[in-house]
């Protein structure tokens, strides 16, 4: 959570401060070409992950790779998108990592094959996990949706051909996010599996913390 919320943002700040050094045409084209390949490769790796925590870690890094594209776009719109992506990435990565920890306390494993039937065990946490999924997917009305739209426009201004890469990037994100949501929330399992499981008070408090962090963020974003 510290890595996703703070340390990755320090890397983004470092790239902003080195913008004049890396904005040389030859270096710029090389870096953009490298990240075009890596941005798709990282998403494909996410689609093959079976460990939920490892999946979220890879997806967190895969999403923050959009920062160099926004820096090289060098427009007011891209700078606004840059600030939103860095800020909201810290929020949603923290939420999803916290959700992984709570699921591990219930099921005792992080394997997506074994984490099943959350709908029967805790409908409240199921609802919170669906909201976290929508926030991670950047779906409206969540503020991350605005950041993603600005990123698409900024990428188009940087290069028209880059738009196809961004659309493929978004599609692969939908694939692996739907995969873990369907497996965890909507899959069924025998009721006897839950005989040794119980929800503790700390689990309830952690779920409330997720809701407290999620709801005010949406309200404040659209009010301000």
| 78-115 per-position pLDDT tens digit | 888 888 888 888 777 777 887 887 788 777 788 888 88
How far is it, in rounded angstroms, from Cα 53 to Cα 167? Answer: 25
Using DSSP, state whether 51 is helix, strand or coil.
strand
With tokens 């408090």, the residue in question is 205
- Write the CA distances from 196 to 77, 99, 193, integer angstroms: 52, 20, 7
- Tell me the mean pLDDT in the region 61-90: 81
- Tell me the mean pLDDT in the region 16-30: 73
Who has greater pLDDT, 63 or 220?
Answer: 63
Q: Is the pLDDT of residue 215 over 70?
A: no
Q: Is the pLDDT of residue 23 over 50?
A: yes
User: What average pLDDT is seen over the chain?
Assistant: 76
Point out the least confidently predicted range of 22-26, 39-43, 146-150, 213-217: 213-217
Question: Which one, of 75, 44, 77, lies nearest residue 146 by Cα?
Answer: 77
- Write the CA distances from 55 to 44, 64, 116, integer angstroms: 11, 14, 17
pLDDT score recorded for residue 192: 47
The token pair at 15 is 């790239």
Question: Which one, of 119, 120, 145, lies nearest residue 134 by Cα?
Answer: 145
pLDDT score recorded for residue 141: 73
Q: Is the pLDDT of residue 224 over 70?
A: no
Percent of the chain beyond pLDDT 70? 78
Who has greater pLDDT, 19 or 53?
Answer: 53
How far is it, in rounded angstroms, from Cα 115 to Cα 187? Answer: 9
Q: Is the pLDDT of residue 196 over 50?
A: no
The token pair at 127 is 């609802």
pLDDT one-digit tens code per residue, 156-194: 887 788 888 888 888 888 888 888 888 888 777 654 444
User: Which pTM was predicted?
Assistant: 0.78
Give the count of alpha carbons within 13 A of 206, CB side only.
20
User: Which is it for the CA torsion 31, 37, 42, 45, positive or negative?
Assistant: negative
Burial class (CB in 10 A: 0-12, 13-18, 19+), 48: exposed
How far is it, in rounded angstroms, from Cα 176 to Cα 23? Answer: 33
Q: Is the pLDDT of residue 3 over 50?
A: yes
Q: Is the pLDDT of residue 207 over 70?
A: no
- Tell me the mean pLDDT in the region 62-88: 81
């Amino acid at each position: 959570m510290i890595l996703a919320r703070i340390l990755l943002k320090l890397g983004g700040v470092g790239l902003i401060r080195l913008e004049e050094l890396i904005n040389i045409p030859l270096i710029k084209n090389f870096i953009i070409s490298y990240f075009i390949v890596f941005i798709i490769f990282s998403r494909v790796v996410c689609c093959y992950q079976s460990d939920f925590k490892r999946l979220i870690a890879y997806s967190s890094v895969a999403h923050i790779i959009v920062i160099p594209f926004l820096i090289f776009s060098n427009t007011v719109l891209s700078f606004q998108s840059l600030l939103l992506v860095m800020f909201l990435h810290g929020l949603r990565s923290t939420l999803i990592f916290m959700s992984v920890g709570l699921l591990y306390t219930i099921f005792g494993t992080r394997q997506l094959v074994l984490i099943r039937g959350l709908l029967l065990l805790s409908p409240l946490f199921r609802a919170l996990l669906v909201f976290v999924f929508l926030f991670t997917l950047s779906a409206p009305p969540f503020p991350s949706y605005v950041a993603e739209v600005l990123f698409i426009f900024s990428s188009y201004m940087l290069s028209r051909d880059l738009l196809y890469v961004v659309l493929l990037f978004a599609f692969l994100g939908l694939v692996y996010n739907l995969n873990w949501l369907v497996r965890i929330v909507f899959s069924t399992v025998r009721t006897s599996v839950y005989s040794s499981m119980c929800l503790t008070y700390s689990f309830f408090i952690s779920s409330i913390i997720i809701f407290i962090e999620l709801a005010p963020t949406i309200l404040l974003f659209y009010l301000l």
